[in-house]
C-alpha cells in the first residue's frame, strides 16, 4: 500500500488520528529506509515498546526526541523535516495545529524531501495537511491483526477506506477489502 507512495506522498506532511495511529506510523516507517525521528512530549506517559515495534519496523532505526512543550515538538519536527537527515519524521501532537504551523511543516517537508507524519487527537489537525487518516483496530473472530484505515482528507485524490492486515512474515500490508466492496457495508464516499 505504501510501496509506490500512492497515498502517502513523501515530501509532504500527513496527519493520522485514531487509536491505531501509532501502528500506522510504524508501518509507514517500515516501508521507508533510513533513520526515523520520533518526537513526542516529555510528559506523555505512553511510550513505544521496542519489542512490539519490532513487528513493524526495526527499533534501532528510531531516534526519540522528548520535547519539553508542544511548541518544542513542532519546532523539532520542522528542523528534522527541513534537514532531510531522516527519511521520516513522526511527531505526536497533543494540541490543535494552526494553519500557519501546518503550512510551515508542509514547506519544511518539501524542502527536506522528507515524509512527515503527525499523530493528532481526533479533529485537531490543520487544513494544510496533505492527507488525514483515521486508523482503528477492527475486531474479527478469525483474524486478530485487522486494521481499518480511513482516508478522511486528501488534497490530491479521492477518499477511501480499507480494511488491512499486517503480514508479519512478508512485512507488508495486505488489503483485505476495500470498504464498499464488502457485502452489507456502507459505500465509502468517492
User: Residue 26 or 115: which CB sits closer to another protein?
Assistant: 26
Applying CB under 8 A, does 2 fall inside the site for another protein? no
* Whole-number Å distance between alpha carbons of 120 and 153: 14
**Interactions with another protein, residue window 105-124 (CB under 8 A):** none
Say if CB 3 and CB 119 are below 8 A apart: no
Among 43, 58, 100, 177, binds another protein (CB under 8 A): 58
Among 5, 43, 68, 99, binds another protein (CB under 8 A): 68
Applying CB under 8 A, does 60 fall inside the site for another protein? yes
Among 8, 74, 86, 109, binds another protein (CB under 8 A): 86
Applying CB under 8 A, does 169 fall inside the site for another protein? no
Distance of CA 36 to CAs 17, 23, 103, 141, 150, Å?
19, 14, 22, 34, 24
CB of residue 64 to another protein, shortest distance in Å: 5
* Whole-number Å distance between alpha carbons of 53 and 187: 33
Left if phi > 0, otherwise alpha if psi is -120 to 50, otherwise beta: which for 62? beta
Left if phi > 0, otherwise alpha if psi is -120 to 50, otherwise beta: which for 146? beta
Among 9, 10, 11, 66, binds another protein (CB under 8 A): 66
Which parts of this chain interact with another protein (CB under 8 A)?
A: 19-20, 22-23, 26, 35, 37, 42, 45-56, 58-68, 72, 75-76, 79-80, 83-86, 136-139, 141, 144, 147-148
Amino acid at each position: 500500500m505504501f510501496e509506490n507512495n500512492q497515498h502517502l506522498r513523501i515530501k509532504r506532511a500527513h496527519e493520522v488520528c485514531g487509536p491505531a495511529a501509532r501502528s500506522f506510523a510504524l508501518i509507514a516507517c517500515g516501508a521507508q529506509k533510513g533513520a526515523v525521528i520520533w518526537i513526542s512530549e516529555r510528559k506523555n506517559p505512553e511510550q513505544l515498546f521496542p519489542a512490539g515495534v519490532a513487528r513493524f519496523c526495526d527499533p534501532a532505526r528510531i531516534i526519540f526526541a522528548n520535547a519539553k512543550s508542544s511548541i518544542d515538538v513542532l519546532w523539532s519536527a520542522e528542523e528534522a523535516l527541513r534537514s532531510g537527515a531522516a527519511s521520516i519524521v513522526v511527531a505526536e501532537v497533543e494540541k490543535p495545529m494552526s494553519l500557519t504551523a501546518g503550512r510551515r511543516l508542509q514547506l519544511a517537508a518539501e524542502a527536506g524531501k522528507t515524509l512527515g507524519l503527525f499523530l493528532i487527537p481526533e479533529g485537531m489537525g490543520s487544513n494544510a495537511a496533505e492527507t488525514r487518516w483515521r486508523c482503528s483496530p477492527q475486531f474479527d473472530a478469525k483474524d486478530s491483526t485487522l486494521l481499518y484505515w480511513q482516508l478522511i482528507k486528501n488534497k490530491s485524490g479521492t477518499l477511501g477506506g480499507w480494511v488491512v492486515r499486517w503480514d508479519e512474515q512478508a512485512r507488508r500490508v495486505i488489503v483485505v477489502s476495500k470498504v464498499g466492496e464488502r457485502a452489507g457495508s456502507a459505500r465509502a464516499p468517492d
